[in-house]
């Protein structure tokens, strides 16, 4: 871009240079480049960088950092990981820092009661101070011994350190599952069902997709999950998306909600990826692409998708198939770590036929509710096929009524 902007347009200047195209290296070439730089970074940070850490720097940077190129982004990841490991090795452990803070607090209290001539309290505080001092000496001795052994063995930068840096940059959880998170994922269905009542099937499908993604078993080229929720207003489609966002991020505001009724005309479609050059709002970026670019690990809710212009579906095909979208400024936005949820009211008449909604039925109706649900679902899916193109429906992970 800079070459075209400053040099190419000036033909007199351009002919005095010989352009040399330098392409992005492959993963194998980038690893070899990092191996060549390893000695300098090890000497600077006084750590050892393992081969697995080098390979993880390239592999994870290539997969999760889409706006920059190799080897630049992998070098920065390696540099920051080495810096973090070195800093952790020199800082006292949190437990020792807590004991030091407690010791300072006791000493301040003791001085205050001595000034107030409360000597009995001062004696008790002195005893407490002696106990904490002994604990502090023990912890400090352990830390010094650990530091000494690390210095002799060499502090190592591992694959986990690289994953932590990538997670910090992108907000995507890449570290190994801690026992606490494993338990949280196992109880995911029960936790979500406490808030969203009567939607067992959608919750089961969603939780399965999230577990698969955190276990590293999902298709690396596609979003974590793409779902179409069908049903009348008020059954909990949007609430389920909010609950998922709160479960994943401890904050339901982490959900990106886009009302597709605002994109009914052809001119509105460009707002999703940003206005074209020369139009108002070009610098602002797209409502969809900018939200995902800033927070790649997110829940995206496209509400009332059937109201959107047909061009929106053509755009979404690329997201569902390749997990990426290019905005108006030429930046590739990565959707591979997003959960895409679309809601629709298509087939609403079939859902409420005969005065019944969902599983509710007349007293004189002897048809089993499971069979009635299947019949209703079949009718709704027929309506869906009339509205959406087959290529769009086939790219969805699940269509849930």
Query: How does pLDDT run across 318-329, given as a tens digit for each residue?
Result: 888 888 888 877
Looking at residue 177, what is its pLDDT? 47
Domain final residue pick, 168, 198, 231: 168
Looking at residue 364, what is its pLDDT? 45
Q: Tell how far CA 243 is from the center of its chain.
A: 16
Q: Are residues 85 and 187 in the same domain?
A: no
Q: Does 15 map to a domain?
A: no
Q: Are residues 196 and 118 in the same domain?
A: no
For 277, counting Cβ atoms within 10 Å of its Cβ (0-12 exposed, 13-18 middle, 19+ buried), the class is: exposed
Q: Are residues 76 and 209 in the same domain?
A: no
CATH at residue 68: 3.40.50.300
Looking at residue 227, what is its pLDDT? 84
Beta bridge partners of 48: 156
Find the domain containing 198 and state its range. 179-400
pLDDT at 76 over 90: yes
pLDDT at 361 over 60: no
Domain final residue pick, 133, 168, 203: 168
Q: Which phi and psi (to 5°) does residue 276 adopt?
A: -65, 160
**Where residue 95 falls among pLDDT bands split at 50, 70, 90?**
confident
pLDDT in tens, 238-257: 888 888 888 877 666 778 88
Instruction: Give me the percent of the chain exceeding a pLDDT of 70.
Output: 85
**Where residue 74 falls among pLDDT bands split at 50, 70, 90?**
very high
pLDDT at 91 over 90: no
Looking at residue 355, what is its pLDDT? 46
Rounded CA separation 6/179 (Å): 54
Rounded CA separation 242/370 (Å): 28
Q: Does 10 map to a domain?
A: no
Q: Are residues 371 and 287 in the same domain?
A: yes
Q: Are residues 120 and 235 in the same domain?
A: no
Q: Does 329 map to a domain?
A: yes
Looking at residue 338, what is its pLDDT? 84
pLDDT in tens, 147-193: 666 554 557 888 888 888 988 888 777 665 455 667 777 888 888 88
pLDDT at 62 over 80: yes
Q: Are residues 142 and 243 in the same domain?
A: no
Looking at residue 290, what is its pLDDT? 84
Q: String of b and e for 18-44 (b: at least 16 CB within 10 Å)?
A: eeeeeeebebeebbebbeebbeebeee
Q: Are residues 117 and 220 in the same domain?
A: no
Is the separation of the CB atoms in 343 and 302 below 8 Å?
yes
pLDDT in tens, 344-359: 887 666 555 544 544 4
Q: Which helix (H) or strand (E) holds 300?
A: strand 299-303
Domain final residue pick, 141, 168, 195: 168
Helices (H), 46-158: 51-64, 72-90, 94-115, 119-153
Best mean pLDDT range from 39-53, 303-317, 379-393: 39-53
Q: Does 173 map to a domain?
A: no
Tell me the Cα Rg of the chain: 29
User: Which tokens sit at 193?
Assistant: 């069902």
Q: Are residues 128 and 205 in the same domain?
A: no
Looking at residue 354, what is its pLDDT? 46
Q: Does 287 map to a domain?
A: yes
pLDDT at 129 over 90: no
Q: Give the mean pLDDT of 36-56.
A: 89
Please identify which residue in the block is written with the tokens 């990826």.
273
Q: Are residues 117 and 153 in the same domain?
A: yes
Helices (H), 187-346: 188-193, 200-214, 237-249, 270-273, 287-294, 310-322
- Going by C-beta distance under 8 Å and a sequence separation of 6 or more, which residues neighbour residue 336? 63, 220, 221, 222, 223, 224, 296, 323, 324
Q: Which phi and psi (to 5°) does residue 324 adopt?
A: -150, 160
Task: Say how many domains are in the chain.
Answer: 2
Rounded CA separation 258/239 (Å): 14
Q: Are residues 341 and 243 in the same domain?
A: yes
Q: Mean of the per-residue pLDDT values for the chain?
A: 79
**Where residue 79 falls among pLDDT bands split at 50, 70, 90?**
very high
Q: Are residues 391 and 302 in the same domain?
A: yes
pLDDT in tens, 13-33: 888 888 888 888 998 999 999
Q: Does 6 map to a domain?
A: no
Determine the number of helices (DSSP H) and then strands (DSSP E) in the chain: 18, 9
Q: Does 5 map to a domain?
A: no
pLDDT at 309 over 80: yes
Q: Give the mean pLDDT of 135-140.
A: 81
Instruction: Give me the percent of the chain exceeding a pLDDT of 90.
Output: 6
Q: Does 8 map to a domain?
A: no
Looking at residue 126, what is its pLDDT? 82
Is the separation of the CB atoms in 326 and 273 below 8 Å?
yes
Q: By C-alpha distance, which of 222, 209, 390 is closest to 313?
A: 390
Q: Are residues 39 and 88 in the same domain?
A: yes
Looking at residue 277, what is its pLDDT? 67
Please identify which residue in the block is written with the tokens 């106990």.
131
Looking at residue 357, what is its pLDDT? 47
């Amino acid at each position: 871009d800079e070459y075209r902007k400053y040099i190419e347009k000036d033909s007199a200047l351009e002919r005095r240079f010989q352009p040399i195209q330098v392409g992005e290296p492959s993963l194998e070439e980038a690893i070899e480049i990092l191996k060549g730089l390893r000695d300098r970074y090890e000497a600077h940070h006084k750590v050892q960088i393992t081969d697995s850490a080098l390979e993880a720097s390239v592999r994870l940077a290539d997969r999760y950092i889409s706006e920059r190129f190799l080897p630049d982004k992998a070098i920065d990841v390696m540099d920051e990981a080495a810096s973090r490991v070195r800093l952790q090795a020199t800082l006292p452990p949190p437990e020792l820092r807590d004991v030091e803070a407690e010791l300072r607090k006791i000493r301040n209290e003791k001085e205050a009661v001595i000034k107030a001539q409360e000597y009995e309290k001062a004696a008790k505080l002195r005893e407490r101070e002696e106990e904490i001092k002994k604990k502090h000496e023990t912890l400090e001795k352990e830390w010094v011994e650990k530091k000494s052994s690390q210095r002799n063995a060499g502090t190592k930068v591992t694959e986990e350190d690289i994953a932590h840096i990538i997670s910090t940059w992108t907000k995507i959880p890449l570290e190994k599952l801690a026992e606490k998170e494993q338990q949280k994922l196992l109880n995911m269905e029960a936790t979500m069902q406490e808030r969203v009542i009567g939607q067992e099937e959608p919750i089961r499908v969603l939780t399965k997709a999230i577990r698969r993604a955190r276990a590293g078993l999902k298709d690396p080229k596609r979003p974590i999950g793409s779902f179409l929720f069908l049903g009348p207003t008020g059954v909990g489609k949007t609430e389920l998306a909010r609950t998922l966002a709160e479960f994943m991020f401890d904050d339901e505001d982490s959900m990106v909600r886009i009302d597709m009724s605002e994109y009914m005309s052809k001119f509105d479609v460009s707002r999703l990826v940003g206005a074209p050059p020369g139009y108002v709002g070009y610098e602002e970026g797209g409502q969809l692409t900018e939200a995902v670019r800033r927070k790649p690990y997110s829940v995206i809710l496209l509400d009332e998708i059937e109201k959107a212009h047909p061009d929106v579906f053509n755009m979404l095909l690329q997201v569902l198939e390749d997990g990426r979208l290019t905005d108006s400024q030429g930046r590739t936005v990565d959707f591979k770590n997003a959960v895409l949820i679309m809601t629709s009211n298509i087939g609403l008449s079939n859902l409420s036929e005969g005065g019944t909604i969902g599983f509710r039925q007349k007293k004189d109706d002897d048809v089993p509710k499971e069979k009635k649900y299947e019949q209703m679902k079949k009718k709704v899916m027929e309506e869906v096929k009339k509205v959406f193109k087959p290529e769009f429906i086939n790219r969805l992970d699940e269509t849930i009524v």
